[in-house]
Amino acid sequence: MNITFASLLEKALQLVSSEKSDQTVLFEITTLLEQEVAHYNWVGFYTLDKPNAMLRLGPFSGLPTEHTEIPVGKGVCGQVALSLKPKIVQDVRKEDNYIACSLDVKSEIVIPILKNGEFVAEIDIDSNTPSPFTADDEQFLVALCDALANRF
Ligand code: SME
C-alpha cells in the first residue's frame, strides 16, 4: 500500500474505533474518502436486506442518487453481493450489467463487507476519472472493510 493510502487508513481506523455511532462513523468515512482521494467522486455504503434480496443505500458522500435500492445481482453492486469478491470496473461503458448514476462516472470499485463470513454490506466508489484504480485502492479498501464489519 502506498504512503497516502496507509495514512488515510490510519485516519479511517481511528474513526472506526471511536465512540461515535455506527451511522456517524460510516458517514464520516464516506466524507473522508471522497475528500482525500482525488479519484473518489462518490462514496457510499449499501447494506443487504436479506429477506428481500435487496441492497439499500446507507450513508454516502457525493451527489444524491436515485438508486437507493438495488436488487441483488443487478449492476456492479448487485454482482458483488453474489460473488462476495471486490470488483473493479475501469470503464463503465464496457460493463454490460451496470446501473448508471451519472453520465460523469467513468469507473467504479465495489468491495464487499463480510461479517462472520456472511455478506452484510459493501462500499461503492464512483470515479469521474477513466481507469484510475490500482491494487493500492483495493488493498486499502479491503483493509478498511475488514475493520468496518463490526459496524454493521
Ligand atoms: N453503478 C452502480 C449503481 C450504484 S451508483 O454507482 C451509486 C451499479 O452498477 O451497481
CATH number at residue 23: 3.30.450.40
Number of folded domains in the chain?
A: 1
| 1 pLDDT above the threshold of 80 | no
What number is the average pLDDT over the span 114-132?
Answer: 97
The residue whose CA has the least distance to atom 7 of ligand 1 is: 101
Cβ of residue 99 lying under 6 Å from some atom of ligand 1:
yes
The residue whose CA has the least distance to atom 2 of ligand 1 is: 99
- Is 0.75 surpassed by the pTM of this model? yes
What does the pLDDT look like over 32-85, one tens digit per residue? 999 999 999 999 999 999 999 999 999 999 999 999 999 999 999 999 999 999
CB atoms within 10 A of CB 17: 10
Distance between CA 147 and CA 139 in Å, rounded?
Answer: 13
Q: Which three cell numbers stand for residue 60?
A: 454516502
Cβ of residue 128 lying under 6 Å from some atom of ligand 1:
no
Domain extent for 44: 3-151
